[in-house]
Structure 1
Amino acid sequence: MRILAFMVLGVVLFSGCKKDSPKAPEKVDLIAPAKNSECTPVQSDGDSSSIVRFTWGASDFTESYVLHVTNLTTGTVQSKNTTNTIETLSLTKGTPFSWVVESKNSEITNSTSSDSWLFYNPGSQISHVPFPAELTFPVQGSTAFKDVNGQIELKWSGNDLDDDIESYGVYFSDENPPTTLLRTTDAGVKELTVGVTSNKVYFWKVVTTDAEGNISTSAVSEFKTR
């Protein structure tokens, strides 16, 4: 009986000392600037810039956030560490941007990223450049399975504040960057079937053109076939 009592006591003590595993920071929900919109700056910051306010929801198991804002014209990234859920940055007027928020805590090495939203910081321009197309499938860096005909369907989405996109030029190649124009589609067509070979890496991008002749180019995405 004494042995059994000691065993039960040991189990109780062990259970009492056991620590819960640290929890990863959760993904935040972005609030403003709204997705695919023209933002409303807080104030002007000289002739060429204005102050833009960013707002997102708090996430669980998070100690701090990192706001990343990318100038889609130059590719320049501005980052800001904060414990708040509201921050401001000075951004170039008349320019499209993307923004994303990382959630972090000191117990977990990896951070958790939010969705990426696009917005336009207004300037004196009358016509807006289209947002760069978002390449949605195959997912960047993924392995895609070809169908029985040896084909894969490329899919993307596009937005323009003027709603005057005219065409998408799809560039596709096994070389990076892809320089071969596979096809130009009308604004209403946002998917294209391509022939591929197994166990090969492919690269693709989409160039968007609107009625005013404004052009934007997506990032290059890659995937491997199986």
Structure 2
Amino acid sequence: MKPLTVILCFLALVGCGGKDSPKPPLSAQLVFPEKNSECTTGIAITGTNNSTVQFRWQASDHTESYELRATNLNTNTTQTIVVGGTSANLNIERGAPYSWQIVSKNTQVSETARSETWRFFNAGTETTHAPFPAEVIAPKTGSNIARDINNEVLLEWEGADVDNDLEGYEVYFSTETPPTTLINTLTSGKSDLKVSVETNTVYYWRIVTIDREGNTATNNISEFKVR
């Protein structure tokens, strides 16, 4: 084949090539309210127990819009708002713990990307704060897992407190819901516990987190099945 013919064929192939496929969005990086902190910048709303808090995050690539999700950890209710920029205002309860997350979206693809989930306390009139409800690390709720060679499963969670005065945890675990059997009380330096389990059984567990002021917080019931 002559050199000129080769060049023309190459140019034709390049010219016929389509555009690159749309890329899925990447996860946004959270900025404010900061993780495990007290948010004191909310603007109180007259006649209510709410304040307006501005949430901020960094832009993520291949993203058209962002969905802000803020969850009241006391009531487990979630507020959402979709915006095109990297900040949004929400009216949320004063004196309550929250978690928040950003979902990055692009209408050209079905995939979305989730940021980390951060927790914070929206300031009210308190001089001392209850701890955050414990965050389950494993087993994830709804999971189907195997026991180890000792017929045990490791429960793992994470605790935090704005005042940095965690005292410890009470662990409730049983085959009934809600779990009312207290199986152990641990100091704040330990946030995991091995429990004996049987196969083909569903287990329920929850954590009561306690600080040195006597404040407590109870997380949602988590459940898993041992296969």
Change (3 A) 1:15 1:193: farther
1:66-215, aligned counterparts within 5 Å? 66-215=67-216
Q: Residue 53 of structure 1: CA displacement?
A: 1.3
* Bigger mean CA deviation after superposition, 26-35 or 105-114: 105-114
Q: TM-score, normalised by structure 1?
A: 0.86
**AA aligned opposite 1:190:** S
Query: Is contact 1:30-1:114 (8 Å) kept?
Result: yes
Aligned to 2:60: 59
Query: Is contact 2:134-2:159 (8 Å) kept?
Result: yes
Change (3 A) 1:224 1:16: farther
Q: Residue 24 of structure 1: CA displacement?
A: 1.7
Instruction: Spell out, residue by residue over 1:129-186, the C-alpha distance to the aligned partner (whole angstroms, 9 max, x if none).
Output: 1101111122344443322111111111111122222221112233444333222222
Instruction: Spell out, residue by residue over 1:69-123, the C-alpha distance to the aligned partner (whole angstroms, 9 max, x if none).
Output: 1111122211111001011112221111111111111122242211111101111
Q: Residue 211 of structure 1: CA displacement?
A: 2.7
Query: Is contact 2:42-2:123 (8 Å) kept?
Result: no
Aligned: 1:16 with 2:16: yes
Distance 1:112 1:140 in 2: 21
Query: Is contact 2:42-2:54 (8 Å) kept?
Result: yes
Change (3 A) 1:103 1:170: same
Distance 1:61 1:199 in 2: 44
Change (3 A) 1:14 1:224: farther
Instruction: Spell out, residue by residue over 1:180-221, the C-alpha distance to the aligned partner (whole angstroms, 9 max, x if none).
Output: 322222222211001122344333221112233322111223
**AA aligned opposite 2:175:** D
Q: What is the root-mean-square deviation of aligned Cα atoms in Å? A: 2.7
* Bigger mean CA deviation after superposition, 206-215 or 187-196: 206-215
Change (3 A) 1:23 1:140: farther
Aligned: 1:46 with 2:46: yes
Q: TM-score, normalised by structure 2?
A: 0.86
Aligned to 1:36: 36
How many residues are treated as equivalent by the alignment? 223
Query: Is contact 2:173-2:182 (8 Å) kept?
Result: yes
Q: Residue 52 of structure 1: CA displacement?
A: 1.1
Q: Which runs of 5 or more residues in structure 2 are unaligned?
A: none
Change (3 A) 1:201 1:26: farther
Query: Is contact 2:33-2:56 (8 Å) kept?
Result: yes
